[in-house]
Structures are given as structure tokens and as C-alpha cells.
Amino acid sequence: MSRKSGSQKRKQIKEVPKREVDRCFETFDQHYQHPINRVIQWIALPVFTFAVLGLVWMVPFPELAFLKKHGYDTFVNWGSFFIAGMVYYYLRLAPTLSYAMLLTVGVFSFFIVQLEYVEQGGGPAVWVVCACLLMTSLLVLYIGKGMEKHAVPFRSFLRFLVMGPLWLWHFVFRKLNIPY
């Protein structure tokens, strides 16, 4: 009897509870299985994330004299705080994946600045471009959600919009055998 107890104890020790991020990814995998919808996710989720970041970036930020005095006024905007909050949230869920998201956000930031240059040169306003991208990506994501056999609850869909970019990175990390 003590052998069974010892064996059961070893099994209990080996079982590591799943992290919140793993449970979330499993839920997404269950809800988003349609092959066309998977392709939609790979295209529309990054566009959605870019558009949200661009819109937050363009919200006017108050001028702060101490930042202007030291030449940092162009580097601080609402997007900076949004990025910090987003990366911190992802860092708490899966540190390695958060670094990949930081890289992604850096690339997105570069393109938002390029859109600002286009706007200064007489092109469309950044917020208009980002609003169009946001509406289009949301529509496409919603259409993809409708392709699934099992109805995806709206609350789950909203969580997916927040966690979706991290979910996409987790596929890359799994393919490369990088623990996250």
C-alpha cells in the first residue's frame, strides 16, 4: 500500500498546474479550428493590433515642459503608455512571448512613424488609416468567427483580440521548440 501511495505522490509532484496563458491558448485552439479562419487570424490579428496601437498613438498628448526642455517630448505619447501596459501584461503571462511582442510593437511603431511622415507630406491622416484598418480587420475577424462550428462567445472574442497576437507567436515558438 505504501508503494501505491509513493507512486501517487510522485505523480502529484510531477503534475504542474497549467498556466493561465496555456489554458487561454487551449481555449483558442478549441474555438478557432476552421482552416480558413486560421489564415484570417494570421492576417487580421496583426492588422488589428497595428491599428489599435496607431489610434492610441495619435491621441493628443499634453505638452509637458520638463520633457520638452530635455528634448523628450517627441518620444512620449499615449502609445508609449499603451505599449508599456501591454508588454507588462504579456510579461506576466509568458515572459519569452512578451519579448516577441515587444519586437512586434517596435516594428509597428516604426511603421506608425512612417505614416506620420506620409501625413506630414500631405497624405492621409494616420488616425484615418488606422481607423480604416481597424474596422476592416474587425469585420474580417468577425466573419472568420462565424465560420467556426461552435459559436464563439462575444466575451471570448474580446479576450481573443487582446491575447491573439501572443497566441500567434506561441505557434512560432512551438515550431522552433522555444519554451515560453
Domain of 159 in residue numbering reads as 35-175
The answer to whether residue 129 is domain-embedded is yes
Q: How far apart are CA 12 and CA 21, in angstroms?
A: 21
Helix axes 126-146, 154-175, angle to 10 degrees: 90
The answer to whether residue 80 is domain-embedded is yes
The answer to whether residue 137 is domain-embedded is yes
**What end-to-end distance do the CA atoms of the chain give, in Å?**
39
Number of compact structural domains in the chain: 1
The answer to whether residue 16 is domain-embedded is no
Q: What is the pLDDT along the chain (180 residues), one digit of tens a residue?
A: 555 555 555 555 566 678 888 888 988 888 888 999 999 999 999 999 999 999 999 987 776 665 666 565 556 778 888 888 988 999 999 999 999 999 999 999 999 999 999 999 999 999 999 999 999 999 999 899 888 887 777 777 788 888 889 999 999 999 999 988
User: Would you state the pLDDT for residue 113?
Assistant: 93
The answer to whether residue 6 is domain-embedded is no
Q: Which three cell numbers stand for residue 132?
A: 480604416
The answer to whether residue 128 is domain-embedded is yes
- pTM over cut 0.75: yes
Q: How far apart are CA 86 and CA 79, in angstroms?
A: 10
CA 103, 107, 108, 113: dihedral to nearest 10 degrees?
140
Q: What angle do CA 58, 49, 57 make, to 5 degrees?
A: 15
